[in-house]
Amino acid sequence: MVMKNNTNAYRSNQSLNSNPYFENLYNIDGRRLLLNKAGSGGPAVVFLPAAGMVGLDYLNIHHSISEHTTSVIYDRAGTGWSEQVKLPRSAQEVTGELRHLLNHAGIPAPYLFVGHSLGGLYAQRYAQCFPNEVAGMVLLEPVHEDYLTRTPKFKKRYLFSQSVAVLRTFLTYKRSFRGLYEHMFSKWPDAVREPLIEYHTRTFLKMNAEKKNLNTQLYRELRTGGDLPDVPLIVFTAMETDAMTSLVTSQSFLHEITEPFNHVKKTIYKNLANSVSYGEHRILENAGHASIHIDCPDEVVKAILDLLDKRVA
């Protein structure tokens, strides 16, 4: 059921009532979830946002893909313009909710998932639970359990400088983050840009809330969920430090961690890509983790189209 009224208390801007980007709410298990669909054909491409991010953050890629097939962006419950719930949530709950939402929206399987960071973990968990419904996956630096054991340990003096940098950022976070989001969404349509900037400026800490159970639950769900289905897979590694990380990280700490951390990332994601028959690892030299889809949109679109072409072939 599509609901065309935006009366939820979490909508701070009543002008969104007449904004088509924020209208498509579906009643799923008693909760209202925002989903936008564009284009036609299949398999449908479904974007799973990173922690703290929302569907409209990927509007640039969504528009490009809709010229070739059905493209879907959505907000998980507890995020964006979907109904608010207590965070964090299990991967099982998130993926089950997504499945119900896609069914209610009339978007048939199979799906090609584009999962970013935490969204990449959810994409893999969906593939474990419903392997026949997944046509392929493009994973943009998905969170991975191997980071817990393979990330280098750093000296205390760098950790101290990092703590100072975080404190300084949060003392001025509204000004700092608003400028960051203004830059990120500078090419977004007027009807979307300001609501997105205002949302992210108000809810920056939601990123931490969404992934609070990453180490205690989500990794375990994925580890014990079985093998991934043998579907086409492209995994991206971003080599640059994005603006988000630079805001909350001291320069000395960045200098210390960048090279060893990038080496670990490349190894982890190469191994993930090699876990299926048609897996490919691609490196983006000019992209940062939080902004892969903004720094290198053409490369992300190409990866999606490559998997769509393989599906057709």
Please tell me the distance from the alpha carbon of residue 72 to that of residue 37, in angstroms, as a whole number: 5
pLDDT (0 to 100) of residue 261: 81
Other CB atoms within 10 A of residue 156 CB: 7
∠ at Cα 190 (300, 71), nearest 5°? 35
Please list, in sequence order, all residues whose beta carbon lies within 8 angstroms of the beta carbon of residue 213, skipping any fewer than 6 positions away.
88, 89, 90
Domains and their CATH numbers in the chain: 2-150+213-238+258-312 (3.40.50.1820)
Q: Cα 44 to chain center, whole Å?
A: 17
pLDDT (0 to 100) of residue 7: 35
- Indicate the DSSP class of residue 87: S
Q: Are 71 and 44 in contact (CB under 8 A)?
A: yes
Please tell me the distance from the alpha carbon of residue 102 to that of residue 303, in angstroms, as a whole number: 23
C-alpha dihedral (232, 238, 243, 246), degrees to nearest 10:
130
The burial class, CB within 10 Å (0-12 / 13-18 / 19+), for 187 is exposed
Other CB atoms within 10 A of residue 120 CB: 26
Cα separations (Å) of 228 from 121, 127, 131, 136, 275? Answer: 11, 6, 8, 11, 8
Q: Which pLDDT tens digit goes with each residue over 84-95?
A: 999 999 999 999
Question: Quick one: tokens of 149?
Answer: 């054991």
Question: Quick one: tokens of 188?
Answer: 């977004």
**Residue from 247, 248, 258, 238 nearest 154 by CA:** 258
Kind and range of the H or E element at 28? strand 25-28
Tell me the residue length of the chain: 313
Residues (pLDDT < 70) of the chain are 1-18, 152-175, 246-256, 311-313
Q: Which pLDDT tens digit goes with each residue over 161-201?
A: 445 445 555 545 566 778 889 999 999 999 999 999 999 98
Share of the chain above pLDDT 90, in %: 71
Residue type, 64: S
